[in-house]
Chain A
Amino acid sequence: MQTTAFSRRRFLLTTGSALAAAQAPRVWAQPAPAGASLGSGRLIVVFLRGAYDGLSALVPYADADYYSLRPNIAIAAPDGSLQTALKLDNTFALHPALSPLLPLWQQGVLGFVPAAGLPAPNRSHFDAQYQMEIAQSGKTSATPGWLNKLAALNGSTTSALGVGEANPAILAGDATVKLIPRGQAAQRTGVLANDKTRQALLDLYAGDDKLSEAFRMGAGSRIQSAQELTTEKMASDSRNLAAMPEAAAKIDGALPNAQAQNAQMLAASNGAADPVGLQLDAQHLGTLMRNDRKMRIGFLSAGGWDTHANQGHVTGQLAGRLGNLATGIAQLRRDFSEPGDVIVVMSEFGRTAFENGSRGTDHGFGNTMWLIGQRIHGGRWHGQWTGLAQGNLNDRRDIPAHHDYRAVLAQLLRPARLGAGHGVAGCELGHPHGRPAAKSLTLAGTKRWSGSSIRKFSLKDLHAEKPQGPVRLFFGPCATFGRRATTRAATGDRRAAGRGHARRRRHPGRRAKRRDRDAAWQIRAGRR
């Protein structure tokens, strides 16, 4: 596939995999019978609290600066073994602990946006997380989280489920959401299992005030989810026992390379043991959302990413976290692999490009977002990547956020447009009548950030191009990049940042323009 700059606007994400393209229109073009959910996408957000180190997960191994900036904690360039990074293409490789995700990349359903983030740096975990959860700038009191807004937008047809946190801001708001605790606690009914106690409690909370209503709702929902999860656990225990040898044999024949086989086997054997950590939470999310098809929004979080000291490299603290994350994501993918499903992995900001004095990394800015699903044009990364040369870093220390995280999200929330008459059937997680959710969500409302040097994203970007399929995802051009680089050149390393643009000013010919833009954007020429 070639990247052709066919207009000022460039498609970086085009239609989904062949599978999605072949199946989706047929499914979505049909009027949806009541309750049918084949064509309805689900969105899972995995939030990594504490700012995970994207440069250890998606390793820019071809960049010599990466190794000079991180003498002790860099992940070694791929040599084909599991002791080094796993090669994805000529720019990036994957942390070996993420090997369960390699098959997803090979199947073309896993993609990365390596330099996304807040419109302006904010190095406070709390503030940055909160901004990302309400998808707005600053602290606005009583602002609902964007996943809650999304649930509310879709009215009674959509509800949301959160696993792990008591009441995360991203799910807080008017729409009622279901929240279950982390780990095995989710399978327990607690004191509600005792008939007498349950009755006494329900009598105490019989009133029609908010507190009583909340209690009754909580009790009902908890009993139900505990039952569902327990039933599922018993069923999967017996299924696992019966199916393992066959599954192993099937994997053996199906995958072309040894690395992928290892990864698959690893994932498979992990599935046989009792899952722990994020995988268990992911499993709970999958079970409950499978049983209630109105649940189309899921939220999962994982902590412990704030690796200021001894973060490790191929092994160590961070590697352990990434391994847990990878099995969690692989588990999610098993449950959320319908054509419309998307899993997003995001974190409040990135970490410094260089290691600090205690073999860790400090708070940074831009970071890698992960996108998984048939709707995603995967097996490649998207957007701008300008490397780790000093002059291209934000404040000479961090990956810049070339893309507003909301621009990425807004595209996921964009309803599929299959032509008139099929708006409802084709609707993704957007507005039920085909209006992009982004508008109501102010995900696209980046006007507030007008002082920022980050490219502004607007709904025009969504509609400027005629959609060719139900799942087109794309990024518009990074219109302010030139200005950004020039500004940086004025203050910093002119040669590193400004060369392409200086040349463009001298030779404003069309071909030169295109060549320079390509150079500046460092856009890859498709899947390798």
Chain B
Amino acid sequence: MFKTPLDFACSALVAGGGVKDRRDIQLTLGFLAQAGQPLHGWQTPDGYKTDAATWLAPEALTRRADHAMALGARMAEPMYLQPFLSPASRERIAREAPATRTGLTLASPDFMRK
């Protein structure tokens, strides 16, 4: 299943071992607002939609990459995610400098699904 922005943002935080400081929260809330799913921001009781049709939009994916790289620069590489990546993704990410590996892991197509 395709992650909603909230799924994506929370799982990215968890991958870094949870919230470490204010900045993590700021980044996350900023991302959610921009992605169209501000935290507790829905006006009516029926809640946000959870389907891919609502959230899988071309340019929105590139915004996820922005967020992943920003958050990834602030955390250690989540090695436990390795088995969940496809071999192709794993191989491609390994070719990059360690500093960007975390961000790319979070930005990978594998991390977009739950």
A214 to B64: give the CA distance in the assembly, Å. Answer: 13
Nearest B-chain residue to A171, judged by Cβ: B57
B43 at the interface (CB under 8 A from A): yes
A43 to B105: give the CA distance in the assembly, Å. Answer: 41
A105 at the interface (CB under 8 A from B): no
Asked whether A211 lies within 8 Å of B112 as measured between CB atoms, the reply is yes
Q: Give, as a whole number of angstroms, the nearest-CB distance from B41 to chain A.
A: 10
**CB within 8 Å for A222 and B96 given contacts A126-B43, A181-B34, A201-B65:** no
Q: Give, as a whole number of angstroms, the nearest-CB distance from A298 to chain B.
A: 16
Which of under 10, 10 to 19, 20 to 34, or 35 or more describes the interface residues of B? Answer: 35 or more
Interface bits B28-52 vs A (CB < 8 Å: 1, else 0): 0000001111000001101000000
Interface bits B71-107 vs A (CB < 8 Å: 1, else 0): 0000000000000000001001101100010011001
Interface bits A324-364 vs B (CB < 8 Å: 1, else 0): 00000000000000000000000000000000000000000
A191 to B56: give the CA distance in the assembly, Å. Answer: 19
The total of chain A residues at the interface (CB under 8 A) is 38
**CB within 8 Å for A192 and B57 given contacts A200-B104, A204-B89:** no
B69 at the interface (CB under 8 A from A): yes
A19 at the interface (CB under 8 A from B): no
By a CB distance below 8 angstroms, the chain A residues around B43 are 50, 125-126, 306
Chain A interface mostly: helix
By a CB distance below 8 angstroms, the chain B residues around A408 are none
**CB within 8 Å for A215 and B104 given contacts A166-B35, A172-B53, A203-B92:** no
By a CB distance below 8 angstroms, the chain A residues around B21 are none
Nearest A-chain residue to B58, judged by Cβ: A218
Other 13 A-B pairs with CB < 8 A, given A211-B109, A221-B58: A165-B36, A166-B5, A166-B36, A166-B55, A176-B58, A180-B59, A192-B65, A200-B100, A203-B92, A211-B112, A214-B57, A217-B58, A218-B59
Nearest B-chain residue to A220, judged by Cβ: B58
By a CB distance below 8 angstroms, the chain B residues around A180 are 59
Asked whether B60 lies within 8 Å of A190 as measured between CB atoms, the reply is no
Interface bits A192-216 vs B (CB < 8 Å: 1, else 0): 1000110011011101011110110
**CB within 8 Å for A125 and B109 given contacts A166-B36, A200-B100:** no
